[in-house]
Amino acid sequence: MVALSDKEVTKAQHVEEVILSHLQTHEEIVNSGEFAKANGLEHDLLLSVVQSLHGFNYVEAQDIKKEAWVLTEEGNSYATLGSPEVQVYKAIPLEGISREDLQKKLDVSVFKIGFAKAMGNKWLETKPLVSRKVSNVEDQVQQQLVHIRNGQDLAAADIDALKKRKLIIPLIWKGYSIRKGTSYAPKRTKAATDLTREVLQRGTWKDLVFKDYNYNALGQPTEGGHLHPLLKVRAQFREIFLEMGFEEMPTNNFIESSFWNFDALFQPQQHPARDSHDTFFLQVPEKAQFLPEDYLQRVKEIHEHGGYGSIGYGYNWKREDAEKNVLRTHTTAVSSRMLYKLAQDGFTPKRYFSIDRVFRNEAVDRTHLAEFHQIEGVVCDRGLTLGDLIGVLNEFFSRLGIRKLRFKPAYNPYTEPSMEIFSYHDTLKKWVEVGNSGMFRPEMLLPMGLPEDVSVIAWGLSLERPTMILYGIDNIRDLFGHKVDLKLIKSNPICRLGMR
């Protein structure tokens, strides 16, 4: 609402007094419009005062609606100066006048409209000069317009004619009929809306009447910033891992060589995931500059001829393919670096995790983007079993509130056994895939130099999928990227994953 100036406040108080004192002696104000006119008050101001009085139950107001006509700007001018046809008529001297001279005496539009109308009314002659054909004319249009200005009624045919000439337009007139309300008093005690500093200092709060608070309305929106929902979920996943004793891996290297991204993971060079249809290769920097040579030889050997009990893939392994840089397709590229480092530094049991960006050169749709976040957990220890993997997964997912899990055999080039993780979705009433897991193959671990009795169990899932389920988002582009509506970022609940 617009604040009233002091002058307006005084005027409003006057209107209020007039209404309340009138109702002291009268049962009803039948029509606020007529009442305003009779008392010389502005009707608009009166309306707002009545609304306020109604709100405090001093009066009870009922709507009156009436369709009325008002003059357009053109109509208003004719009401004052006369209709153009009459203006034209009057501008013609008795002796007649040339058309050009007549035109000069009048406003352009007045001449144009008025001349045509006057001709139509057969008031004029044009030959030889423009002259009056009738001796006297009556300006009915002007009279009608004045009637309307005064709020008087007209015959329907006249209304139509004026409407056609766009001299009047309809206006919905709103007013009230007013009676005493349940809290009527001849003078209003002003209700306070707030406990202010002034009220406190003056001590007037003891006597003031406070306006009822509208408990149905929303409060004022808070100010301040917001964190992105996907990263709020990331924060909870991080906490779950940290609580479970996992150490974060340094995943701040989006560019990876095919060697670490694929070859080190015993992923053969002809594997479809290494196609340009699935992986982003780089033009700059195109190749890795250096690779760990000893280790590279062991990787080449295991791919080509096997070893450590494996027969290998039996193909010609190419160094050029391993050197090709890619945008990493999974954070497991970092896990392979970490495990290699662990083998070089001397093995100790470790639990690693990471949550970071990965890239796939795939078609983008409602559920797939070319980039997303992979959550990965890795446990390396001597003598780990598949039972340990199942146990760790149950522990991890139960912290997310997912307690019903089952596992499906699957294939992955660098894990054996491999398991897809399914959880029972209570709403969908079916088992849905929530992640992938497995035990890293000896062909991956042994060339790194890890001791033979060390097993590594790992699992991965995307950050986007659980977030979309959590926040009820069905298009990934509404969550992630520059087309996201800022409202979405600002209005979502805190993530309670991991609270038990």
Partner 1 sequence: MPTVNVGRDRLYEALQQHYSEEEFDELCFDFGIELDDVTTEKAIIRKEKHLQEDTLEDEEIIYKIEVPANRYDLLCLEGLARALRIFTGKQGSPTFSLSSSAIQKMYVQPETALIRPYVVCAILRGITFNQARYNSFIDLQDRLHQNLCRKRTLVAIGTHDLGTLEGPFTYEALPPSEIKFVPLKQRMEFTAEELMDFYKSDLKLKKYLHIIESSPVFPVLYDSKRTVLSLPPIINGAHSAITLQTKDVLIECTATDLTKAKIVLNTLVTMFSEYCEKKFEVEPVEVISSDGNATIYPDLHVRSLEVDLAYINGYIGVSLQSKQVIDLLNRMQLPSEATIGSNGKSKIKALIPPTRSDVLHPCDVVEDVAIAYGYNNILKTLPRSLTQGKQQPLNHFSDLLRSEIAMAGFTEVLTWILGSEAENFWLLNRKHKEHTGVIVGNPRGSDFERVRASLLPGLLKTMGHNKDSPRPVKLFEVSDVVLLDNTKDVGAANERHLAALYCNTTSGFEVIHGLVDRIMEVVGISNAAVGDTKGYYIAPSNEPEFFKGRQANIILNGSCIGSFGIIHPQVLANFDILDPCSVVELNIEPFL
Query: By C-alpha distance, which of 331, 304, 330 is closest to 318?
Result: 304
Closest CB to partner 1 among 144 and 251? 251
Task: Note whether 363 binds partner 1 by CB under 8 A.
Answer: yes
Pattern 232-261, binding to partner 1, x per CB under 8 A? ---x--x--xxxxxxxxxx-xxxxxx----
Q: Which residues pair with 373 in a beta bridge?
A: 357
Minimum distance, C-beta of residue 283 to partner 1, in the bound complex (Å): 4
Q: Which of 30, 208, 400, 484 binds partner 1 (CB under 8 A)?
A: 484
The amino acid at 407: F
Residue 171 C-alpha from the chain's centroid:
37
Residue 45 C-alpha from the chain's centroid:
38
Q: Which of 202, 287, 403, 404 binds partner 1 (CB under 8 A)?
A: 287
Task: Note whether 400 binds partner 1 by CB under 8 A.
Answer: no
Task: Note whether 108 binds partner 1 by CB under 8 A.
Answer: no
Closest CB to partner 1 among 91 and 444? 444
Task: Note whether 183 binds partner 1 by CB under 8 A.
Answer: no
Task: Note whether 485 binds partner 1 by CB under 8 A.
Answer: yes
Closest CB to partner 1 among 86 and 296? 296
**Rounded-to-integer distance, Cα 145 and Cα 162, Å:** 8
With contacts defined by CB under 8 A, how many residues of the chain interact with partner 1? 102
Closest CB to partner 1 among 103 and 361? 361
**Rounded-to-integer distance, Cα 497 and Cα 471, Å:** 12
Task: Note whether 367 binds partner 1 by CB under 8 A.
Answer: no
Tokens at 93, concatenated:
């001297």
Closest CB to partner 1 among 77 and 415? 415
Task: Note whether 107 binds partner 1 by CB under 8 A.
Answer: no
Task: Note whether 213 binds partner 1 by CB under 8 A.
Answer: no
Closest CB to partner 1 among 208 and 410? 410
Residue 115 phi, psi dihedral angles, 5° rounding: -60, -45
40-43, Cβ contacts within 8 angstroms, sequence gap of 24 or more:
41/15, 42/11, 42/15, 43/175
List binders of partner 1 among 288-317 (CB under 8 A). 288-291, 306, 308-315
Query: Rounded to a whole number, what is the distance in angstroms from the first to the last CA of the chain?
Result: 47
List binders of partner 1 among 112-131 (CB under 8 A). none
Distances (CA, A) of 489 to 227, 365, 368: 7, 21, 20
Residues with Cβ within 8 Å of residue 495, at least 6 apart in sequence: 229, 232, 233, 235, 236, 470
Task: Note whether 351 binds partner 1 by CB under 8 A.
Answer: yes
**Rounded-to-integer distance, Cα 414 and Cα 442, Å:** 9
Degrees, nearest 5: CA angle 146-149-153: 85
Closest CB to partner 1 among 57 and 270? 270
Minimum distance, C-beta of residue 391 to partner 1, in the bound complex (Å): 4
* Phi-psi region at 203: left, alpha or beta (left = phi > 0; alpha = psi -120 to 50): left
Task: Note whether 455 binds partner 1 by CB under 8 A.
Answer: yes
**Rounded-to-integer distance, Cα 61 and Cα 29, Å:** 9
The region of 35-43, 90-98, 208-216, 476-484 touching partner 1 under the rule CB under 8 A is 476-484
Task: Note whether 471 binds partner 1 by CB under 8 A.
Answer: no
Minimum distance, C-beta of residue 217 to partner 1, in the bound complex (Å): 19
The region of 89-97, 165-173, 357-365, 468-476 touching partner 1 under the rule CB under 8 A is 357-365
Minimum distance, C-beta of residue 297 to partner 1, in the bound complex (Å): 17
Residues with Cβ within 8 Å of residue 336, at least 6 apart in sequence: 260, 264, 265, 444, 448
The region of 80-88, 97-105, 130-138, 362-370 touching partner 1 under the rule CB under 8 A is 362-370
Task: Note whether 365 binds partner 1 by CB under 8 A.
Answer: no
Contact 244, 395 (CB under 8 A): yes
| DSSP H helices in 287-383 | 293-304, 319-323, 332-345
- Which residue has tokens 């995943």? 251
Distances (CA, A) of 479 to 461, 474, 484, 493: 17, 9, 6, 14
List binders of partner 1 among 401-440 (CB under 8 A). 406-411, 413, 416-419, 439
Closest CB to partner 1 among 216 and 220? 220
Tokens at 203, concatenated:
């001590």
Q: Which residues pair with 132 in a beta bridge?
A: 124
Q: Which of 280, 347, 424, 471 binds partner 1 (CB under 8 A)?
A: 280
**Rounded-to-integer distance, Cα 94 and Cα 196, Å:** 76
Task: Note whether 91 binds partner 1 by CB under 8 A.
Answer: no
Q: Which of 7, 122, 164, 482 binds partner 1 (CB under 8 A)?
A: 482
Q: Which of 150, 201, 214, 276 binds partner 1 (CB under 8 A)?
A: 276
Task: Note whether 478 binds partner 1 by CB under 8 A.
Answer: no
Task: Note whether 321 binds partner 1 by CB under 8 A.
Answer: no
Task: Note whether 386 binds partner 1 by CB under 8 A.
Answer: yes
